[in-house]
Structure 1
Amino acid sequence: MGHSEFDEEISIGDKGGKDEVVIETGAVPTEAFEQGNTWSAKVQRLAGKFKIEQRGIERVPENERTDTNGVANVGTMWLAANMVVSSFAIGALATPVFFLGFVDSVLTIFFFNILGILPVAFFSTFGPVFGLRQMVLSRFFYGFYGVKIIAVFNILACIGWSCVNTIVGAQLLHAVNNDVPGFAGVLIIAIATFIVTLFGYKIVHAYEFWSWIPCFIVFLIILGEFAHSGKFSNLPMGVGSSEAGSVLSFAASVFGYATGWTSYAADYTCYQPTTISRTKVFFSTLCGLAFPLLFTQMLGAAVMTASINTPAYSDGYANSGIGGLLAAVLVPPLGKFGQFCLVILAMSIVANNCPNIYSVSLSMQVLARWTARVPRFIWTFLGTCCYIAIAIPGYSHFESVLENFMLIIAYWLAIYEGVSLTEHFVFKKGFGGYAPEIYDKPSLLPPGIAAITAFCFGIFGAVMGMSQVWFIGPIGKHIGGPFGGDIGFELAFAFTAISYFVFRKIEYRHFSR
């Protein structure tokens, strides 16, 4: 009855002189990865010798939930992943792209970051309870087959995030040394990220546990030098419909960045024991996200507003993007030490990209029987190659790429949250409504018809409310003056949640699951 692709592969009796492995709960013993003489088993055996994580999307059994430093690991994981220059870049978009002043930028940053990180903190609590990755957990919302569509979106998001982040880091390296071309910076950051993610969950957490500290120190130096320079300009807040449209469009970018971790939140808590407090996991994640996002984005908004009346800042931004802007702040007063600080910030992108490249491999394994058999670390390598191939030609178009990408991320994740939160609170009525042992049994999971139908309604809502360079929706164009205002993610969530509630009731009445 509906075993997963991977389970079908390993539970086929005696191989290599070992006893038959019987899988009933989906918990795969470590030695099962190495059984047989298939190419996958041979590669897994080789990986085991180098202490590379072999487990992929299989449920983590209790005896392997050894992440006893759980709360600290969760908090520092997200602290490191967001105490980075790409978060600074989001705040810096407020003035040149959305024409906002400082006060309206800061207010938007505060409220929409908090809104965006709440789902991330909530879904992080699922990992210790079920020992499942986020995309596998999504089978309880979208069904065994429907989740494959969600996995495709998640793969695109992971690759897209990695491209955007790497371009920011490469700009910084170029600002430090003009002889370092963009493609070289992309390669340096991508290779460093791959080395960390290759070894899996434990090494990713170990790296993130410490890597935020030097980045935080550098951001404090930026704050100190900027404050000492006296160049801050408190641009006045706009009024009227144009201001409303700009705030809403910037809010969508902020929300998209903050909530972007939702679709792989549980990936980084699934090795924690079931005894850990869900409340502690929730608030550890919330604080680990809120502090770096608010701090770096508000700092980015402040520095960028100063560029309006500071030619050195505006010239640096025009020549080398965010890297040039930060170089204008740090290098004149600090010289070589300022350049060293820029290199630290450039390499902070590794911490930001680790969750993306680790999780893209897990999403790939959800897609099909043959992708599940490919070891996780091979998908990590292929994902790295893919985003390098995109980031290098996209290097010179960073600003437009970032704006459009953030908005699209906000749309699809609002749809994802509309289905999953409605299913959890309305139909499953909390954690007690799940049977984690059926995660790999299609006939017992929800059919997914209601979820995919609601997903389509969510897309319709996003189209109606979006305000992009290439398209302004019929509702979006009536908000915010001549250029419209983006309310795509709000409408996407509302359309999805309401339609899912209706269709899921019909689906459950017919299928009883």
Structure 2
Amino acid sequence: MTAAEPTTDGTYRDRTFAVEPGGNEVIADEDRHGRPSQLFWTWTSPNLEFATIFVGVLSVAVYGMSFWQALAGLALGTGLGAVAHYFLSARGPRLGVPQMVSGRLAFGFKGNALPAVLMSITAGVGWFATNSVSGAYALAALFGIGPLLGLVIIVLVQTALAFAGHNLVQAFERYAFPVLAVIFAVASVAILMKSHLGAPALEPLVGKGSLGGFLLTVGTAFGYAAGWTPYAADYTRYLPSTVPGRRTGLFAAAGLFLSCTVLEMVGAASVTIGPALSDNPTEAFTGELSSPIAKATLLAIAIGAIAANSINIYSGAMAFVTIGVKLPGHIARALVTAFFGVAGFLVAWWALADAAASYETFLLIIAYWVGPWLGVVLADQYLRRRQAVAGFLYDRSYANWGGLLSFVVGLVGSVLLFSNQEKFTGLVTKAVPALGDITFFVGFLLAGGGYLLFCRSRINSELVAV
């Protein structure tokens, strides 16, 4: 039931300006490098962007929260996502494989194809397009160019970074961090000084009642933060296997939580100043700032979009390779990266005409599948905490259909009962509309509980066998 694990050849190491070879192999000791502390900027830089701000904007402008209600919901949702990110990141150095490869333990080799496809589409196309649009609008407002030209520039830069691979992506996050941190700190202070934090809540555009709006805020913030968890080990697998798991998880979770919570707070505060929704939401946000700060912020929004999307397209390509599609081994990941760059550009081009309308739906749909996926993966990680897993990860015959069943039950059951979308409302939500949308909570609990029920005895037998 076990198979030999393919490993990297030790030639990549810490070379920054080199195309990362291979696809999703185990990282050999000769290629291991870095420190857990670098994960702080790895997960801070990609969240210092406008998409993070807009999560906060939604909580007040759309969900009808006051600033303080929004802040509580945003911190709770982001905190839940950061906790999950901690556990998945911490495991990366020990296994030395991408996050979606380790997912084969919970779903089996073939069963893992479903979450891998969902992740590659979400990251390599969905998030790629979403962030590219905000970056394109920022460049358009900053330099007075057309959004399409701005989009071309953004896509070319971020695709080139991801094509080169892990080390160049990490280097970009490191050097982007101080630039983004300083600019967004200045812009945040300026926004908070103008804001009216005690202003009454606006009339909600979706949902009814403060409970529903609060739960939507939590769900949206969770969807944004937890949307990074299927990537977690992609950026810790190169660390030496001897680094402490706690430090690894802590730096990754801290960077994610701090950057998301602060900018989401600023987004919520900006709505108390003036209108926040427009055809160009980035320009609406920076319109509240003085000219020099506004221009610097537009530049930071563009850089932040590149920081986020270099990670999105890299990990989206990594997930696609994990499906098991046969590609030339030494260039598999790079080829798929180029493909997603083209696909993401086309979707972003289509979305330029309506930048903000579907963002809320997109975030909640991410939470719909990430919630059950996390439930299965974390339950599996708990059950295998004492198990050696070498030999299972690359065995094409290894099956764990209980994991896929738990995921499907959690996903379908939670959506049918609790989703709250314009085109489909769950049965429970129809009866109790004040609930808002708690699909991700229910999906996580259903899938995680199902996995513990269906798979505990199987994993215990594997533990004895190993």
Q: Same fold (TM over 0.5)?
A: yes
- Cα distance in 2 for partners of 1:403, 1:329 equals 23
Write the letter of the residue equivalent to 2:44: L
Query: Contact 1:144 / 1:441 at 8 angstroms: preserved in 2?
Result: yes
- Cα distance in 1 for partners of 2:169, 2:452 equals 38
Question: Are the structure 2 counterparts of residues 50 and 66 from structure 1 closer, same or farther at C-alpha, using a change threshold of 3 Å?
Answer: closer
SS of equivalent to 1:452: helix
**Are 1:235 and 2:203 counterparts?**
no
Question: Paired residue for 2:39, among 62, 71, 74?
Answer: 74
**Are 1:370 and 2:326 counterparts?**
yes
Question: Bigger CA drift: 129-138 or 57-66?
Answer: 57-66
Question: Paired residue for 1:214, among 172, 179, 188?
Answer: 179
Write the letter of the residue equivalent to 2:403: A
- CA drift at 1:89: 1.4
**Are 1:325 and 2:284 counterparts?**
yes
Question: Higher relative contact order at CA 8 Å, sep ≥6: structure 1 or structure 2?
Answer: 2
- Cα distance in 2 for partners of 1:261, 1:144 equals 22
**Are 1:64 and 2:25 counterparts?**
no
Query: Contact 2:74 / 2:218 at 8 angstroms: preserved in 1?
Result: yes
Write the letter of the residue equivalent to 1:301: A
Question: Are the structure 2 counterparts of residues 171 and 462 from structure 1 closer, same or farther at C-alpha, using a change threshold of 3 Å?
Answer: farther
**Are 1:401 and 2:358 counterparts?**
yes
- CA drift at 1:166: 1.2
Match of 1:338? Answer: 294
SS of equivalent to 1:115: helix
**Are 1:296 and 2:273 counterparts?**
no
- Cα distance in 2 for partners of 1:141, 1:299 equals 38
Question: Are the structure 2 counterparts of residues 113 and 174 from structure 1 closer, same or farther at C-alpha, using a change threshold of 3 Å?
Answer: same
SS of equivalent to 1:399: coil
Q: How does 1:112-131 map to 2 (within 5 A)?
A: 112-131=77-96
Superposed CA offset, 1:159-180 (max 9, x none): 2111111111122223334x42
Match of 2:436? Answer: 485
Query: Contact 2:89 / 2:248 at 8 angstroms: preserved in 1?
Result: yes
- CA drift at 1:194: 1.4
Query: Contact 1:246 / 1:480 at 8 angstroms: preserved in 2?
Result: no
- Cα distance in 1 for partners of 2:44, 2:288 equals 24
- CA drift at 1:29: 2.2
- Cα distance in 1 for partners of 2:220, 2:380 equals 26
**Are 1:435 and 2:389 counterparts?**
yes
- Cα distance in 1 for partners of 2:422, 2:445 equals 24
- CA drift at 1:340: 3.7
- Cα distance in 2 for partners of 1:103, 1:206 equals 36
Match of 1:456? Answer: 408
Write the letter of the residue equivalent to 2:179: P
- Cα distance in 2 for partners of 1:318, 1:277 equals 46
Superposed CA offset, 1:52-94 (max 9, x none): 1103101111122122xx2122111001111222111111111
Question: Are the structure 2 counterparts of residues 137 and 174 from structure 1 closer, same or farther at C-alpha, using a change threshold of 3 Å?
Answer: same
- Cα distance in 1 for partners of 2:461, 2:250 equals 39
Query: Contact 1:243 / 1:480 at 8 angstroms: preserved in 2?
Result: no
Query: Contact 1:155 / 1:364 at 8 angstroms: preserved in 2?
Result: yes
Superposed CA offset, 1:444-486 (max 9, x none): x4x22101111111122321111111111011233444xx510
- Cα distance in 1 for partners of 2:445, 2:327 equals 34
Write the letter of the residue equivalent to 2:392: I
- CA drift at 1:336: 5.0
Match of 2:314? Answer: 358
Write the letter of the residue equivalent to 1:408: I
- CA drift at 1:510: 9.4
Question: Are the structure 2 counterparts of residues 325 and 241 from structure 1 closer, same or farther at C-alpha, using a change threshold of 3 Å?
Answer: closer
Match of 2:342? Answer: 385
Match of 1:283? Answer: 250
- Cα distance in 2 for partners of 1:231, 1:279 equals 38
**Are 1:164 and 2:120 counterparts?**
no
SS of equivalent to 2:237: coil
- CA drift at 1:237: 4.9
**Are 1:27 and 2:7 counterparts?**
yes
- Cα distance in 2 for partners of 1:381, 1:508 equals 38
Query: Contact 1:26 / 1:439 at 8 angstroms: preserved in 2?
Result: no
- CA drift at 1:380: 0.9
Query: Contact 1:59 / 1:131 at 8 angstroms: preserved in 2?
Result: yes
- Cα distance in 2 for partners of 1:73, 1:50 equals 18
- Cα distance in 1 for partners of 2:168, 2:389 equals 30
**Are 1:500 and 2:460 counterparts?**
no
Question: Are the structure 2 counterparts of residues 130 and 505 from structure 1 closer, same or farther at C-alpha, using a change threshold of 3 Å?
Answer: closer
Question: Bigger CA drift: 485-494 or 345-354?
Answer: 345-354
Question: Bigger CA drift: 240-249 or 113-122?
Answer: 240-249
- CA drift at 1:435: 2.0
- CA drift at 1:127: 1.4
Write the letter of the residue equivalent to 1:104: Q
- CA drift at 1:507: 5.3
- Cα distance in 2 for partners of 1:132, 1:232 equals 47
- Cα distance in 1 for partners of 2:195, 2:166 equals 43
Query: Contact 1:317 / 1:324 at 8 angstroms: preserved in 2?
Result: no
What TM-score does the superposition give when structure 2 sets the normalisation length? 0.91
- Cα distance in 1 for partners of 2:195, 2:412 equals 45
Superposed CA offset, 1:120-150 (max 9, x none): 1111111110111111101111111111111
Aligned length: 456
- Cα distance in 1 for partners of 2:187, 2:419 equals 35
Identity across aligned pairs (percent)?
24
- Cα distance in 1 for partners of 2:327, 2:2 equals 17
- Cα distance in 1 for partners of 2:325, 2:10 equals 19
- Cα distance in 1 for partners of 2:452, 2:300 equals 48
SS of equivalent to 2:25: coil
Superposed CA offset, 1:369-417 (max 9, x none): 4146452111111111111000111122222321111001101111111
- Cα distance in 2 for partners of 1:368, 1:139 equals 11
- Cα distance in 2 for partners of 1:506, 1:247 equals 39
Write the letter of the residue equivalent to 1:503: F
Query: Contact 2:195 / 2:269 at 8 angstroms: preserved in 1?
Result: no
Query: Contact 1:477 / 1:485 at 8 angstroms: preserved in 2?
Result: no
Write the letter of the residue equivalent to 2:217: F
Larger Rg: 1 or 2?
1
SS of equivalent to 1:433: coil
- CA drift at 1:241: 5.9
- Cα distance in 2 for partners of 1:420, 1:109 equals 24
- Cα distance in 1 for partners of 2:53, 2:6 equals 42
Question: Are the structure 2 counterparts of residues 273 and 104 from structure 1 closer, same or farther at C-alpha, using a change threshold of 3 Å?
Answer: same
Write the letter of the residue equivalent to 1:326: F
